[in-house]
């Protein structure tokens, strides 16, 4: 699985609009059988910090087919004026810890 991790800073006056934008794109993502996870987390210490996590079954599908379909554009357009800073937008692949532990035994 490949995760796209996006970290945002959203001021309290814009939080509701940010939640709405995330809700709008969630339906499109969940309609794809290749999107295995969609989640939004809020920092407990700094309430204006959010992490959006999208899990894909493969990097190739995410890059070649979903991105080309432009289904994320409405979300990105909605979120752009709301967020004061995007800290990170990267892709991470899952690391099977069992396999890693077994190779070090």
Nearest to 26 by CA among 94, 65, 75: 75
Averaged pLDDT for residues 33-38: 87
Phi-psi label, residue 52: left if phi above 0, alpha if psi -120 to 50, beta otherwise: beta
CA dihedral 20, 26, 28, 34 (to 10 degrees): 160
pLDDT in tens, 3-15: 989 999 998 888 8
Domains by residue range for the chain, with CATH: 2-103 (3.30.70.100)
- Inform me whether the pLDDT recorded for 45 exceeds 90: yes
8-state DSSP, 14 = G
Q: Which residue has the higher pLDDT, 26 or 66?
A: 26
pLDDT in tens, 47-88: 999 999 989 888 776 555 666 666 666 666 766 666 667 788
Across the beta sheet with 85-93, the strand order is 35-42, 49-56, 2-9, 85-93
- Inform me whether the pLDDT recorded for 20 exceeds 80: yes
């Amino acid at each position: 699985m490949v995760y796209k991790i996006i970290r945002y800073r959203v001021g309290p006056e814009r939080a509701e609009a940010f939640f709405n934008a995330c809700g709008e794109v969630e339906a499109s993502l969940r309609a794809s059988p290749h999107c295995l996870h969609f989640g939004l987390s809020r920092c407990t210490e700094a309430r204006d910090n959010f992490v959006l996590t999208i899990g894909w079954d493969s990097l190739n599908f995410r890059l070649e087919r979903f991105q080309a379909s432009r289904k994320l554009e409405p979300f990105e357009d909605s979120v752009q004026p709301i967020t004061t800073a995007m800290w990170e937008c990267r892709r991470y692949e899952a690391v099977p810890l069992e396999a890693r532990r077994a190779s070090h035994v």
